[in-house]
C-alpha cells in the first residue's frame, strides 16, 4: 500500500476523553469524545520547533508520512476552526457540514468508484489511486499515529478529516503528481485554500531542498505558482465531491478556476522522478 503525506491536527482540551474504535468497526458509530463542563474545544497551539524537527526527518525519508502529519498538527493553529466556520457560511458547505459524511468511506469503496465513466473526475481519481496503491484508510492510519483524536465525533475534527481525505482528489484536480515537486506544489496550493501554516512550511521547505538537490529545477517558482493557482481558484473544501466525481475532469477544472500548472509540467518527468529530498 502506498504512503502519502498530509494531515490536519486539532487539540482536545485537558480532561477530554477519547475512545478509539476497534479496527473492524465503523468509527462513525463507535468513536466517542466528551468535554468536562468548564472546558472548551481549543485549536492546536503552534509548535514551530516540533514542526522543524519533523521536517528534518521528512527530507531524509520522503515516505515517512507520519512526519508530515506531525508538521500539520504542530502548525494547524486556528485554521481548522476558521475553515469549518467558512464552510457554514455557504449553502453547499453548510449542507455538507449538516450531512457530515465521511469521504474516506466512499473513497475506499470499489463499487462506488466503479460508477464513474471514463473522463470524469471520479474515473481519474480511481486511476490515480489504483496506479499508486493508495487508500484513504491508509492515510487515516498514519494520521492516528500523531493525532489519536482524529476519529472523534466533533464537527471541527470532522472538517479536518475532510481536508485529509481530499488531498489526493486535489492532486487529480490540479494535475500535480506524487513526486517530490508535485507534493511540494499541492501543499502550497492547499495552504492557499486552507490557510494552514503547515502546508506553507512543507511547501517552501521542500522547494528549498529540491533546489539544493537539482538547481536546474525551478522549484520555488513552481511552488509559488501552485499557491497562486490555489488563491485564484474557487474554495474547494465545501464542494459536493460526490457530484464533482460525475463531472468531466476538464469541465470541473474550468468551472473551479484551476489554471494549468505550467511551471511544474515544464520540468521533465525523469528529473522529477529522480528527486529524493535527502538532507
Q: Residue 8's closest CA among 178, 103, 146?
A: 146
Please name the helix (run of DSSP H) or strand (run of DSSP E) that holds residue 255, with its range, or none: helix 249-255
Report the alpha-carbon distance of residue 180 to residue 154 in Å, rounded.
Answer: 33
Share above pLDDT 70 across residues of the chain, in percent, rounded to a whole number: 82
The structure's pTM equals 0.81
Contact criterion met (CB below 8 Å) for 75 and 48: yes
Three cell numbers, residue 203: 511547501
**Lowest-confidence range among 54-58, 60-64, 82-86?**
60-64
Res. 39 pLDDT band, cuts 50 70 90: low
Contact criterion met (CB below 8 Å) for 146 and 7: yes
Report the alpha-carbon distance of residue 27 to residue 31 in Å, rounded.
Answer: 5
Report the alpha-carbon distance of residue 7 to residue 50 in Å, rounded.
Answer: 15
Res. 54 pLDDT band, cuts 50 70 90: confident
Amino acid at each position: 500500500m502506498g504512503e502519502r503525506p498530509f494531515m490536519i491536527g486539532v487539540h482536545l482540551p485537558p480532561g477530554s476523553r477519547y475512545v478509539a474504535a476497534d479496527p473492524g468497526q465503523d468509527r462513525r458509530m463507535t468513536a466517542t469524545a466528551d468535554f468536562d463542563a468548564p472546558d472548551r474545544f481549543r485549536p492546536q497551539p503552534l509548535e514551530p520547533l516540533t514542526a522543524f524537527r519533523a521536517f528534518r526527518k521528512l527530507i531524509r525519508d520522503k515516505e515517512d508520512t507520519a512526519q508530515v502529519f506531525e508538521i500539520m498538527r504542530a502548525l494547524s493553529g486556528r485554521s481548522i476552526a476558521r475553515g469549518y466556520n467558512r464552510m457554514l457560511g455557504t449553502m453547499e458547505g453548510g449542507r455538507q457540514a449538516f450531512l457530515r459524511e465521511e469521504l474516506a468511506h466512499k473513497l475506499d469503496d470499489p463499487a462506488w468508484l466503479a460508477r464513474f465513466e471514463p473522463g470524469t473526475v471520479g474515473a481519474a481519481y480511481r486511476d490515480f489511486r489504483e496506479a499508486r496503491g493508495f487508500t484513504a484508510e491508509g492515510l487515516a492510519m498514519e494520521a492516528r499515529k500523531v493525532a489519536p483524536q482524529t476519529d472523534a465525533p466533533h464537527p471541527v475534527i470532522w472538517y479536518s478529516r475532510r481536508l485529509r481525505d481530499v488531498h489526493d482528489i486535489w492532486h487529480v484536480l490540479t494535475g500535480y503528481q506524487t513526486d517530490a515537486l508535485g507534493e511540494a506544489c499541492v501543499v502550497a496550493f492547499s495552504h492557499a485554500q486552507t490557510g494552514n501554516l503547515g502546508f506553507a512550511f512543507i511547501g517552501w521547505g521542500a522547494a528549498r531542498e529540491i533546489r539544493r538537490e537539482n538547481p536546474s529545477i525551478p522549484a520555488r517558482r513552481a511552488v509559488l505558482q501552485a499557491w497562486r493557482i490555489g488563491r485564484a481558484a474557487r474554495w474547494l473544501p465545501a464542494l459536493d465531491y460526490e457530484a464533482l466525481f460525475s463531472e468531466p475532469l476538464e469541465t470541473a477544472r474550468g468551472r473551479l478556476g484551476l489554471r494549468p500548472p505550467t511551471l511544474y509540467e515544464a520540468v521533465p518527468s525523469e528529473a522529477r522522478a529522480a528527486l529524493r529530498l535527502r538532507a
